[in-house]
Structure 1
Amino acid sequence: MADRHEVQAAFGAVLTIEGGASLSPWSDVWAARVHGGEHDVDAVVKRTWRSPAPLEAWQRTLVARGIRTVAPLVPPVAVGEGDAAEQWVAYPRLLGREWDGGADDLAAAGRLLGRMHAASDGLAIDGFPPFEWGSAERSSIDEDVEAIRASAAEHWPHADADRWIAQLEAFGDTLERMRAAGLPHVPVSLDHRAANLLFDAEGALMVDLENASLAPRILDLAVAALLFPLEHPGAAGSALGGAEWAAFRGGYLSECRLTRRELELWPTALTYMKLEWGTWHLTEGVEPEPEGNLAYLEDLLTLDEHARFPLG
């Protein structure tokens, strides 16, 4: 993994990485200033895709279509050699505040996601990575069931994990229904969470698209419904409630019209993403910080996703 000095050397005189700790608790994201214009531009420097051209093409398309997100300020640089080489990129340092936990911000976040989906509809970008579907292998399902049981016993001993486990037992059927639906795959972030958003008087801004892939957009919407408060203090110890989801959903649907088939498959998409991604966050990915995250995860473990996150 490259260090700050190696990254600075790779960029050379194009930018200056500032001192101080990473701006992210999860990865190296450093404040920087990009030179070359009339004035320096405040930036952040971070790792990006090993082959970043498809991501950059999507980012530039989104920005050109009025989406409030980031695109590279200068060409990405390689740090290291051979298979160990990393690609680093400089993005504008967007200004805004954190999610305040309120419904107005949720509506803004929903509108932003809807605009992103509308702007990406029908977009074809060569080399964009496909969505990685889960496995229906019995051994994989058994491992997940045992991992949920063990993690629930350790972190949430009084929680009822039976519904989650029963749904895991039927994961193969859920996976097949989702894959067989044949929904269009478009570029989506798969990470539309409070931790990756900023807010200002104009609405929401997306600061991190590095988790993107080609996927049905209702899977992206399901990630937002289930995981929006993940690892964010604004969660206040729970997943989105009914009124909070209604605010997000209203914002989203005001900007993006879903097809009848997408609406029919929404319950399946919710359960699929809950099991495929939620299981990891409840097992290997359990994070006790920030305060309230364990309580949020307990709510995620026990909630009825169809009752909590309706689209109708």
Structure 2
Amino acid sequence: MGGTEILNLFGFEVEEQPISIYPYSPVYRVKYGDQEVVVKRTQKKAASVISYTTMLKDKGINVVTPVKLQVDNPQKYNDTNYVVYPFIEGEKYSGKDNEIYEAGKMLGQIHSCSPVTNVYDLLAYDVYDFNEEEVEESTEAIIHHAHKAGLKIDPAINTKLMESVAIQQELCNANLPHVATPHDYKANNLIFTPAPYLIDPDNAAWIPKIFDLALALLLFHNEHEEAPDRVFTRGEWELFLSGYREHMDITDEEKNFWEMAKQHVFLDEVMWLMAEYEEDWQKLSQQKLFNSLIQMLLNSADYKLV
């Protein structure tokens, strides 16, 4: 489906094919009267996401919710849902200490608003079925992509990822505290106004809380030109957590499973990213980020939940 058709769903009459403002999926910035809006794809459980984000907004969280239009918003075309959000003016993340602290604080606020059960019927996390063959194939792809980019990858990554396969059922059976969360909490989904404003809540899910924290630790700087081309330093991570803990506690049980959680989220969220997107290995900033992620996987003990 072309961009003009997507926009026409909502009554935006355009003749020329619009250009996406995001390189990885269709995101179109258009005028709606005097207002700037963004048209983008959302998940299949669009109604669940809207109910959840409306609750967050009602509780004072800066998060986009659908713009009121003369037609239904979101709209469905074939099996894909599209939604219109307001365009949020502000500054992009640049890795400043205050931005890191405020980002952690916002995630703590979001988690603190979560109900104790999945009352919003969000997608429930259930990815505990990785196997050794998948790891072997992905590791080979990662090493191949890195070699073409003139880099050498420590083969110990394979051993570490195999460990992650072995522990996934223990994590599944651990009955860890779950939260409703946007579950894609990273720098390129935040605009600073100057307080952080979440502009992409469309991956909202019901997930173990420490998995969401691990995702922020690993991929907060991914796909962001102004962000550092590495994971958080230990000091930055402690700063992020200090903001987070202003609103949300971390249990002893979660601290006990933290190392496993980091490995599992790497297996689930980072391994495929490195294996599937060969072109990213040709970008210097992504090369550095990937190398930083591998070093964290192999030496992650300094990044604690304290």
In 2, the alpha carbon distance for the partners of 1:57 and 1:123 equals 15
- Corresponding position of 2:67: 73
- Corresponding position of 1:149: 143
Is 1:301 paired with 2:294? yes
In 2, the alpha carbon distance for the partners of 1:278 and 1:226 equals 8
TM-score by length of 1: 0.87
1:25 aligned partner, one-letter code: P
In 2, the alpha carbon distance for the partners of 1:238 and 1:136 equals 26
Kindly state the Cα deviation for residue 16 of structure 1 after the two structures are TM-superposed.
6.2
Query: What SS class does the counterpart of residue 88 from structure 1 fall into?
Result: strand
Supply the RMSD in Å over aligned alpha carbons.
2.3
**For 2:240, which of 242, 248, 264 is the aligned residue?**
248
Residue 253 and residue 156 in structure 1: after superposition, are their counterparts in 2 closer, same or farther (change >3 A)?
farther
Query: What SS class does the counterpart of residue 250 from structure 2 fall into?
Result: coil
- Corresponding position of 1:46: 40
- Corresponding position of 1:119: 113
Q: Deviations over 1:193-231 (max 9, x none)?
A: 111111133x21111111222111110110000111112
**For 2:98, which of 104, 109, 113 is the aligned residue?**
104
Q: How many residues align?
A: 300
1:233 aligned partner, one-letter code: E
Query: What SS class does the counterpart of residue 214 from structure 1 fall into?
Result: strand
Q: State, as a whole percentage, how many aligned pairs show the same letter.
A: 26
In 1, the alpha carbon distance for the partners of 2:139 and 2:286 equals 22
In 1, the alpha carbon distance for the partners of 2:196 and 2:74 equals 29
Q: Deviations over 1:47-82 (max 9, x none)?
A: 1123411011111011011111111113324354xx
**For 1:179, which of 172, 176, 180 is the aligned residue?**
172
- Corresponding position of 2:181: 188
- Corresponding position of 2:220: 228
* Residues 75 and 81 in structure 2, CA contact (< 8 A), matched pair in contact too: yes
Kindly state the Cα deviation for residue 94 of structure 1 after the two structures are TM-superposed.
1.4
Query: What SS class does the counterpart of residue 232 from structure 1 fall into?
Result: coil
Residue 308 and residue 289 in structure 1: after superposition, are their counterparts in 2 closer, same or farther (change >3 A)?
farther
Flag structure 2 segments of 5+ consecutive residues without an equivalent: none
Residue 4 and residue 275 in structure 1: after superposition, are their counterparts in 2 closer, same or farther (change >3 A)?
closer
Q: Deviations over 1:168-204 (max 9, x none)?
A: 1222322122111112333222211111111133x21
In 1, the alpha carbon distance for the partners of 2:293 and 2:130 equals 22
Kindly state the Cα deviation for residue 288 of structure 1 after the two structures are TM-superposed.
4.5
Is 1:59 paired with 2:53? yes
Q: Deviations over 1:3-51 (max 9, x none)?
A: 2322233212xx567986322121111123345xxxx432111111234
- Corresponding position of 1:266: 258
Query: What SS class does the counterpart of residue 120 from structure 1 fall into?
Result: coil
* Residues 74 and 84 in structure 2, CA contact (< 8 A), matched pair in contact too: no
Query: What SS class does the counterpart of residue 73 from structure 1 fall into?
Result: coil
Kindly state the Cα deviation for residue 150 of structure 1 after the two structures are TM-superposed.
2.7
Question: Which structure 1 residue ranges, 4+ long, deviate > 4 Å from structure 2?
Answer: 15-20, 288-291
Kindly state the Cα deviation for residue 156 of structure 1 after the two structures are TM-superposed.
5.8
In 1, the alpha carbon distance for the partners of 2:139 and 2:191 equals 36
**For 1:29, which of 27, 30, 33 is the aligned residue?**
27
2:267 aligned partner, one-letter code: L
Flag structure 1 segments of 5+ consecutive residues without an equivalent: none
2:73 aligned partner, one-letter code: P
